[in-house]
Amino acid sequence: MEFNFENKVIIITGSSSGIGAETAKMFAHYKAKLCLVGRNESRLQNVAQHCELISGNVPLCLLLDLIQPGSCEEVITKTIEKFKRIDVLVNCAGKLKLGTLDQSDIDVFDEMMAINLRVPYYLTQLALPHLIKSKGNIVNIGSSYLERYKPGFLPFSVSKNALEKFTRHAAMELVPEGVRVNIINPGVTRTNLIRYLNIAESDVDYVYNNLIAELGLKKILEPKEVAKLVLLVASNLMPNMAGSSLKMDGAVIGIRIINIHKQYFRK
């Protein structure tokens, strides 16, 4: 089976690095027309050049901070101006910032909700008339941390839980319109998110090696692996997938249960 995205118009937020960048390159391989949205100009241009080289199509590049007023409107307006349609919206832009109830001010919570929930919600609203016309679909990128509880991750986890609930409710509303909405929840992935935690570059590998201990498969996800699932979910190969929450976490929950069993039920 082969994907067919030729002449399909795909909006990908957070496409200057990580999962968004790999998703853009993979869509380009299948000749899609791309609107790439990011905040790092040099990385965004590098991704765009790579996509153009692969597909021959010149991507629309938008250097935007999506939580700023007018930014989401600009994404949709400029995409329609250039391509006249929208077929797929990939809400990949996100941020991880640590915060606790007793040590953080409300700004941390507001920031997580703004980029991880409000932006995909609003982009969905704005893109909807065009997605109804094209019978298109939306892929949201969540996190497996919505099912995990760790000190410091409360604002992030709440925002990603809310995104999953939004996905399921939106799917129910939009199925009659022929628009599918799904969410992918990756586990620990080798992206720039970890650098939001102010971890020194020299310590990144050490942190990943410690995180591997929690993973059943003992492997960190690579962005390209998540991108493959994005394309599958967005493709016509999955016409009945709507309101689905797909987890890619290396069997984290399973390995935690095994460890608890070993700890408390040894003979």
- Fill in the DSSP letter of residue 190: S
Q: Which residues of the chain have pLDDT under 50?
A: 253-267
- What pLDDT does residue 257 have? 35
- What pLDDT does residue 2 have? 79
Three-state SS at 262? helix
Other CB atoms within 10 A of residue 23 CB: 30
What percent helix, strand, coil does the chain show, rounded to 5?
A: 50, 15, 35
User: Which CATH entry fits the domain spanning 9-264: 3.40.1280.10, 3.40.50.720, 3.30.2290.10, 3.40.50.300?
Assistant: 3.40.50.720
- What pLDDT does residue 208 have? 60
Number of residues assigned to the chain = 267
- What pLDDT does residue 260 have? 32
What's the pLDDT tens digit per position in 22-48?
Answer: 999 999 999 999 999 999 999 999 999
What's the pLDDT tens digit per position in 98-131?
Answer: 888 988 889 999 999 999 999 999 999 999 999 9
- What pLDDT does residue 263 have? 41
- What pLDDT does residue 51 have? 98
